Amino acid sequence: MRILIANDDGYLAPGIAVLVQACQGLGEIDVVAPESNASGTSNALTLNRPLSVFVADAAAQRGFRVVNGTPSDCVHVALTGLLSQRPDLVISGINNGANMGDDTLYSGTVAAAMEGYLFGIPAIAFSQVDKGWRHLDAAALTARAIIERVLPALQQRAAPWLLNVNIPNRADAAALPRVVTRLGRRHASEPVIRQINPRGEAIYWIGPAGSAREAGDGTDFHAVGQGQVSITPLQVDLTDHGALASWQARLAAA
Ligand code: MN
C-alpha cells in the first residue's frame, strides 16, 4: 500500500502532520505539500513558471517534499515525475475549516484529492468543520478509521472514487456516527470588504463564504450540524445532463 498525502494549508500546518501520523503502519507514505498556505486555489496548476521541490528537514515535517505551488501542482508533480511508484490512495488535509457544499468548488484540499482521482487513483479529502485545530487528534483518529475501512476496496484496483469528509471538532469525533451525504448549497458569499491602502488606493478583500442555504436532511451541512461525520462521494462532471435536450432544441443548428 502506497499513500500520497497533500494539503492546501501548507506543509507546516498541524493538519497534515497529524494525518501523516495517523497513517503510520498502513504502508509507504509520501508527503508532497505546498510551501505556503494555498487555501481557496481550487484546481489551479502553475503554468507560467517552473516549480521547485525541496525536502523538509525539521522534525515535524522531516521527509516532506515541499512545492512552491498549488495543491494540485503538488499531486500533479508527484504523480507525473516525483514518485517512483504510483500510489494506491491519495489523501488531502486535514484542512483548517469545513469544505461543504459550494466550498468544494474553491477548495484546494478537495482539489488535491481530485487531482489524484483525475489520474485514476481513489482519493479522500479531510477537513475539520471549525477553524483553529481544536480536537485535531480526534479528527486524525477519525481519518485513520475511515482509511482503514476503504483499504480492502483499494486492493481490488477498481474504478477510482473521491470522498469529501468533514469532521466535527469534538474530542469524541472518532466515535461519532459517520453518514454518507450529498453536498448542500451555500448562499452567495458576503460582499467584498473595501479598504484604503497606505498609498490612498482602494483595495478589496473577498468576503466570507455565505451561510448554508440548502442544508436539509441528507446534506453535509445537516450531518455536521447533527454532530455526525459527513462523507460525500464526489464526481467530476460539470455537464448539465438535464438541460442537454432543451439546449439542443434552442441552439443547435439543423
Ligand atoms: Mn485550507
How far, in Å, is the centroid of ligand 1 from the Cα of 240?
29
Give residue 16 CA to ligand 1 midpoint distance, Å.
Answer: 11
CATH of the domain at 30: 3.40.1210.10
Q: Which domain holds residue 136?
A: 2-184+213-251
Is residue 160 in some structural domain?
Answer: yes
The environment of the single-atom ion ligand 1, i.e. residues with CB closer than 5 A, is 8-9, 39, 95
Please tell me the predicted confidence (pLDDT) of residue 76: 98
Task: Please list, in sequence order, all residues whose beta carbon lies within 8 angstroms of the beta carbon of residue 207, skipping any fewer than 6 positions away.
Answer: 189, 190, 191, 192, 193
Looking at the domain assignment, is residue 204 inside a domain?
A: no
Gap from CA of 186 to ligand 1 centroid (Å): 18
What is the distance in A from the centroid of ligand 1 to the CA of 5? Answer: 14
Residue 201 lies in a domain: no
The CA distance from 249 to 47, in Å, is 38
pLDDT at site 208: 86
Assigned domain for 100 exists: yes
Domain count, the chain: 1
Q: What is the pLDDT of residue 188?
A: 83
Q: Is 207 inside a domain boundary?
A: no
Q: Where are the alpha helices (DSSP H) in the chain?
A: 14-22, 71-77, 103-106, 108-118, 136-155, 220-225, 244-251
CA–CA distance, 71 with 16 (Å, rounded to integer): 12
Asked whether residue 14 is domain-assigned, the answer is: yes
Please give the grid coordinates belonging to residue 182: 450529498
Chain centroid to CA 189: 20
pLDDT at 254: 66
Interior/surface letters 59-73, b for 16+ CB within 10 angstroms, e for the rest = eebeebbbbebbbbb
Say if CB 22 and CB 127 are below 8 A apart: no
Any domain includes 192: no
> Considering the domain boundaries, does residue 120 fall inside one?
yes
Per-residue pLDDT of the chain (254 residues; tens, 9 = 90+): 999 999 999 999 999 999 999 999 999 999 999 999 999 999 999 999 999 999 999 989 999 999 999 999 999 999 999 999 999 999 999 999 999 999 999 999 999 999 999 999 999 999 999 999 999 999 999 999 999 999 988 877 789 999 999 999 999 999 999 999 999 998 888 889 999 999 999 999 998 888 888 889 999 999 999 999 999 999 999 999 999 999 999 998 76
